[in-house]
Structure 1
Amino acid sequence: METWETLGTGRRGRPPAGDARAPGLRRLARPSGGAGGRRAPRLFAAAGTGLLAAMVAAQVASGLRPGDLRLTTLVVVLLAAAALAYAAAAHTLPRAAGAFAAAVAAGYAAEWIGTRTGLPFGRYRYTGVLWPSPGGVPLIVALAWGGMGLAAHAVARRVVPGGRAARLAAGALALTAWDLFLDPQMLRLGLWEWAQPGPYRGVPVSNFIGWFLVSLLVMALIGRIAGGPEAGSTGLVAVYTVMALMETVGFAAVFRPPDPLVATAGGIAMGAFALLAWRRRWRK
């Protein structure tokens, strides 16, 4: 069988000048992406934008009707779907789906172990309000780990472009920062209870230590599976930023009663990561 190396130029991978087959060979040599390959990331990004807009609408509705847990579930589902779509645009669908599934599985396993042993978060239990709950762990909780895990990972890649250990720590901190909002909100809604309430709106310090440890695992899994040269999807950074803004406004002015402490703590923590991520983007 002839190869380009045997067709006579001595330059590896280039057909000889004047060869009638050269145009066809050149076409075969092009990356398989082509116009169709370029179109797929755009379609995934467009889907992510639509899902993110729908999530914002659902989040506004849930803030106005905090007792309707169907809206809370819808917010998480849309969050996960938007993050997955943006990740597919950045890393291809198979890599994104694999990373998302790994993060969901890690989050579910941590919650399953946590509700039975108290490790690594501390002793707590779900009240049974959220469903479906296979094994006693609400499915939307695992989806939240996956969706925000992808977003926090993208933020970390933008903030810390080099250094794997530093990037893992940054991603874990970015994801844990979200729990400054999440846990107080879920306690308000009566979705879970702590055996021994702690100093931060009833949340024990052990919870945040556990979140950081599990988040390290989530970041490692996503980095291992997603891989690729993408230095942080802008869409995923937008997901993280929108969530930070919505939660801050919610606790500051929408929820009744408002909670300035949670709005300030969560807003500063998540906001700092979001600003650092966008600052690096703007400087490019």
Structure 2
Amino acid sequence: MVAAQVASGLHPRPARLVDTVVALLAASATAFAAARYTPPRAALALAAAAAVGYTAEWVGVRTGVPFGEYGYSATLRPQVGGVPVVVALAWGGMGLAAHAVAVAVAPAGGLARIGTGALALTAWDLFLDPQMVRLGLWTWADHGPYRGIPVSNFLGWLLVSLLVMAVIDAVLGRPATPSTGLLAVYTVMAVMETVGFAAVFDPPDPLVAAAGGISMGVLALLAWRRRWRR
């Protein structure tokens, strides 16, 4: 996954490697979840999270709810109902990683865990949306304050992320300890995206590097701090 992410940043047409990066993200997350929770539970958790994400995207491209009015280009294939399959995989793979952060930060479970996981997943979108918009993979009907992305997108992400965390938590049985591998996936993605926007992408974007890096970084540090104390 790291190698594919680096290649994507250096490739003259990075959009071609988006599918590869996301597929490896989902595969890595599922493998680590399988080692921690058993393969059937890991596969079901990925599928459930991807289904929630796909449903939200399917509704979103037709109604503008809950993210705002947007549409996908034809670059990401295959698409089902106007939604790229890889987008659903991204919700699932990163959903598992964000849930591991929540398990570490809020071991008691409940609403604190669901909310923390939703924040961890939404923090990733501070990187994801600017990157995908600059690659022309989707466009927004209304210009927003954060690199052209409307505030409604992040509110929608938070809402959908709450649902994603709830279904993952239900499938995995509300674990008391996180998967170290999934925490690593979340941390690696935070570091890679920060470095990418700060120094690799052309042109670099210090604002996005700082916003995403601080948001994901704080949550990752909290998770590792709690993990090391056990």
| TM-score when normalising by structure 1 | 0.80
**Which residue type is aligned with residue 88 of structure 1?**
A
> 1:91: which partner in 2?
37
Is the 2:103–2:109 Cα contact (8 Å) retained in structure 1?
no
Distance 2:217 2:109 in 1: 22
Please provide the CA RMSD for this pair.
0.9
Q: Which runs of 5+ in 2 are unaligned?
A: none
Q: How many Å apart are 1:162 and its aligned residue?
A: 1.0
1:126 to 72, 77, 85: 72
> 1:271: which partner in 2?
217
> 1:149: which partner in 2?
95
Deviates more, 1:163-172 or 1:144-153: 163-172
> 2:10: which partner in 1?
64
Matches within 5 A, 1:238-257: 238-257=184-203
> 2:83: which partner in 1?
137
**Which residue type is aligned with residue 59 of structure 2?**
I
Q: How many Å apart are 1:66 and its aligned residue?
A: 5.0
Distance 1:198 1:69 in 2: 23
- 2:99 is paired with a residue whose SS is helix
Higher-Rg member (1/2): 1
- Percent identity of the aligned residues? 72
- 1:149 is paired with a residue whose SS is helix
- 1:125 is paired with a residue whose SS is strand
Distance 2:12 2:93 in 1: 21
Distance 1:158 1:167 in 2: 9
Q: How many Å apart are 1:163 and its aligned residue?
A: 3.8
1:162-209 Cα offsets, whole Å, 9 max, x none, are 141011000000000000000000000000000001000000000000
Q: How many Å apart are 1:226 and its aligned residue?
A: 1.1
> 2:165: which partner in 1?
219
Is the 1:150–1:222 Cα contact (8 Å) retained in structure 2?
yes
Q: Which runs of 5+ in 1 are unaligned?
A: 1-54
1:48-107 Cα offsets, whole Å, 9 max, x none, are xxxxxxx00010000001514231110000000000000001110111111110001010
Distance 2:55 2:227 in 1: 34
**Which residue type is aligned with residue 79 of structure 1?**
L
2:148 to 176, 194, 202: 202
Residue 101 of structure 1 pairs with residue 53 of structure 2: no
Runs of 4 or more, structure 1, over 4 Å off, are none
Distance 1:184 1:86 in 2: 28
> 2:112: which partner in 1?
166
Distance 1:56 1:276 in 2: 23
